[in-house]
Structure formats: C-alpha cells, structure tokens
C-alpha cells in the first residue's frame, strides 16, 4: 500500500486533464510515538533542535501553537521534522511529522524515496491517522488578490514588530470541504529568488486515506480567480 504514490497519481491525473500544475509542498502527519519511534530511528539520525529557533517558529505558525510543542527533532540535514506535543496524560506520546519544501527553487527537496518511506511507515496499519498536505500552484505574476474579497474573508499578514503589511495573504476559514486554510504569498521575497514567483497554497485535511479524494476542482476555481481575472 503506497498512499503517497496514490496522492501523487491523483494530482497528476487532475493536472493532465485540467491543464494544471498543482504540487504537494508540505506533508503533516499526527502519530503516536509509542508505536512508531523505533522504526523512525532506523531511518537516520534525529537531531534535537531548539524549539525557539526562528526558522522553526516560522514553520510552526501554520499548524501548531508554540505552547503545544515540547521538543523538536530534525532528520539529519533534511527539511523533515517531528514535534513532540503536550497532552493531558503528560506522557508526550503524540507527535507531528512535518516534511517541508517538496516544491522549491532555492534548494533540493528531501529525497522522494525517504519521504515515501516515512509516509508509509506512519500511516500503514493505523486505523485513525490525521494527515494534512499543502497543495500549491506557482505563477509568475502577482495574483489578483483583491478579487478573493468578493468570496472570502481575506486577511493580509502584518509584521507584528514593525506593523508593516507584507505580501502574504490568508483565508483562514474558506468554508470548503477538506480545505482548512488558503495562503497566497510572494515566494521571490520569502526565498530571496532572482525571478518573480507567487505561490497559492491550500492546506488540505485528508480525513480518510482509504477512500482518497482531494478538493482539486475547488482549489482550481480559486486559483483561476486570482490568475485569470481581467
């Protein structure tokens, strides 16, 4: 059973028949360490990192609050982390695996076979598992962001310290089945790229891996609004 391959095939087929180029950029999996930790240790060296590291905080902000996190570990040099999470039992058995940067321009993504191994290890044989993925689309011109205000509660991210408006926009509750959040941002600025590229991301919650479905048509309607509006 290769769930990641099924996800990728699902998106590939949609792209093929809808002239699209959606990609998976991030994967998040909540799991129980009690049953998975031993297998994880065989993959490679997990290095403990400072949870207050600004790099980590920036990655946490879209999924967890800082108070939920107890400790964090990185798999060798890769953008692959897991975070131990607080719970009422004080045993800290729950954790979240996060794999970043699967669609990037400024650095190599984590090896696909490694991602596949981790994904299947955490979801195989588990009746209940929480999986979230970020599906993204990149365009080379600034999207028509203001058009989304006609349909959603769009918010511009304001830098807390300087109170400066940024080129990042959020839709926190789009009221679309399986899509928990939408984000639009200037990726050239974020990653210091030499060319223009804006990213549109949908944070998609997958409630059932057995009956796989993704809200790609709904996401396409949104990307078409900001991309093709005249």
pLDDT digits (tens, 9 = 90+) for 108-159: 999 999 999 999 899 876 656 789 999 999 999 999 998 998 899 999 999 8
43 against 2, higher pLDDT:
43
Q: Is the pLDDT of residue 56 over 70?
A: no
User: Which phi-psi region, left, alpha or beta, contains residue 30 (left: φ > 0; alpha: ψ -120 to 50)?
Assistant: beta
- Quick one: pLDDT at residue 192? 92
CA distances from 21 to 16, 49, 67, 148, 169 (A): 8, 34, 36, 21, 21
Please give the angle made by the CA atoms of 10, 81 and 21, to the nearest 5 degrees. 25
Separation between Cα atoms, residue 180 and residue 182, nearest integer Å? 7
Residue 38 pLDDT class (50, 70, 90 cuts)? confident
Q: Is the pLDDT of residue 15 over 80?
A: yes
Contact between 133 and 217 under an 8 Å Cβ cutoff? The reply is no
Separation between Cα atoms, residue 183 and residue 203, nearest integer Å? 8
Nearest to 7 by CA among 204, 183, 188: 204
- Quick one: pLDDT at residue 55? 64
- Quick one: pLDDT at residue 67? 53
Burial class (CB in 10 A: 0-12, 13-18, 19+), 123: middle
Whose tokens are 């300087």? That residue is 162
- Quick one: pLDDT at residue 36? 83
Residue 1 pLDDT class (50, 70, 90 cuts)? low
- Mean pLDDT of the region 84-91: 67
- Quick one: pLDDT at residue 228? 65
The helix (H) or strand (E) run that includes residue 228 is helix 216-228
- Mean pLDDT of the region 170-191: 94
pTM for the predicted model, two decimal places: 0.88
Nearest to 171 by CA among 180, 156, 181: 181
Say which range, 85-89, 110-114, 205-209, has the weakest mean pLDDT. 85-89
Q: Is the pLDDT of residue 34 over 80?
A: no
């Amino acid at each position: 059973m290769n769930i990641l391959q099924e996800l990728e095939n699902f998106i590939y087929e949609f792209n093929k028949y809808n002239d699209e180029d959606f990609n998976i950029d991030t994967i998040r999996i909540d799991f129980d360490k009690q049953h998975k930790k031993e297998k994880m240790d065989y993959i490679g060296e997990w290095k403990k990192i400072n949870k207050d590291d600004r790099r980590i905080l920036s990655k946490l902000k879209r999924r967890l609050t800082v108070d939920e996190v107890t400790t964090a570990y990185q798999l060798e040099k890769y953008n692959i982390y897991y975070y131990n999470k607080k719970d009422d039992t004080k045993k800290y058995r729950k954790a979240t695996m996060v794999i970043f940067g699967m669609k990037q321009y400024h650095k190599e993504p984590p090896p696909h076979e490694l991602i596949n191994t981790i994904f299947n290890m955490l979801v195989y044989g588990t009746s209940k598992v929480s999986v979230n993925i970020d599906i993204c689309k990149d365009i080379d011109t600034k999207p028509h962001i203001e058009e989304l205000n006609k349909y959603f509660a769009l918010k511009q991210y304001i830098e807390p310290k300087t109170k400066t408006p940024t080129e990042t926009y959020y839709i926190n509750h789009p009221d679309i089945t399986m899509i928990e959040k939408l984000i639009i941002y200037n990726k050239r600025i974020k990653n210091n790229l030499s060319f223009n590229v804006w990213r549109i991301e949908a944070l998609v919650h997958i409630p059932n891996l057995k009956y796989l479905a993704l809200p790609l048509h709904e996401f396409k309607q949104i990307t078409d609004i900001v991309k093709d509006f005249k």
